[in-house]
Structure 1
Amino acid sequence: MAIKGSCHCGKTQFEVNEAPSTVTSCTCSLCSKRGALWAYYRPAQFRLTSSPDDVATYQWGSRTVKHHFCAACGCGTYSESPDWSSGQPDFDNPKVGVNSRLFDDFDLAAVPVTVIDGKNLW
């Protein structure tokens, strides 16, 4: 069942094909300041349902990850990156990290949170 989400002002809207079974809290400088809880999907499982013109992008460091946010209200919405599960970037298996705090009608408190020590890994 598709889960919909949006930023605060509603200009950036998206959907994923299923609810996450877990979410991730990353302690890196960007994620901790954003306060996002990330749910990860393959690109085919994510769909931006609003205009891409309302999405802005921030990249830092190696510029490997595209961190997207609403150009109007500033909410961090989703990120595009290679798969990092092996500790190295796997560009053949990209992932979309969705800020699960933005899901509509979803009980985020019922989903386990995994903490990644991004502060010391990157």
Structure 2
Amino acid sequence: MQDREEARYQGSCHCRAVRFEIETNFPELTMCDCSICKRKNALMVKVHESKFRLLSGAENLTEYQFHTKTARHYFCKTCGIYPFHRKRVTPDNFGINVHCLENFDPSSMPYRQAIGAGMS
């Protein structure tokens, strides 16, 4: 995946109230086994905050935090979809739910199982 050219992708929640844009070459996709990620079953790509732009819907986002209250998980207030979160270990990065990206099919891309459940 490292040889992919960096490109711009737009994404949204299901009702499209929350819209965002990222730039990435998809260096790695991850699935996390922590208590919240396991339940939301999201496939994520990590992008630096400089490569993320919220286009609309800030007022439609609701935030959820737990445990250390470092990671910030965002959900659409209308449709309940999780489009992204600010990461715990690298808070200057977002974890983007790639299933929310337009015209992107991750089905042929490998992913790494991240071990979040074992974090203290």
Q: TM-score if structure 1 supplies the norm length?
A: 0.86
Distance 1:111 1:105 in 2: 14
Which residue of 17, 28, 31 corresponds with 1:11? 17
Do 2:12 and 2:83's aligned partners in 1 also have CA atoms closer than 8 Å? yes
Question: What do the CA deviations read for 1:63-93 (whole angstroms, capped 9, x no partner)?
Answer: 00110011110101111135x3xxxxx56xx
Distance 1:77 1:30 in 2: 14
Partner residue, 1:67: 73
Partner residue, 2:113: 115
Distance 2:101 2:33 in 1: 21
Give the RMSD, CA atoms, in angstroms: 1.4
Do 1:3 and 1:19's aligned partners in 2 also have CA atoms closer than 8 Å? no
Distance 1:56 1:116 in 2: 25
Q: TM-score if structure 2 supplies the norm length?
A: 0.87
Do 2:24 and 2:47's aligned partners in 1 also have CA atoms closer than 8 Å? no
Identity within the alignment, %: 28
**Shift, 1:107, TM fit:** 1.6
Which runs of 5 or more residues in structure 1 are unaligned? 85-89
Q: Does 1:40 align with 2:46?
A: yes
Partner residue, 1:100: 98
Distance 1:32 1:39 in 2: 16
**Shift, 1:19, TM fit:** 4.2
Aligned 1:46-85 pairs, distance under 5 A: 46-82=52-88, 84=89
Question: What do the CA deviations read for 1:10-46 (whole angstroms, capped 9, x no partner)?
Answer: 1111110134232100011100100111110110100
Distance 2:49 2:117 in 1: 26
Distance 1:72 1:95 in 2: 25
**Shift, 1:120, TM fit:** 2.2
Return closer, same or farther for 1:5/1:56 CA change in 2, 3 Å cut-off: same
User: Deviating runs (4+, > 3 A) in structure 1?
Assistant: none
Partner residue, 1:23: 29
Between 1:26-35 and 1:102-111, the stretch displaced more is 102-111
Helix, strand or coil: the match of 2:24?
A: coil
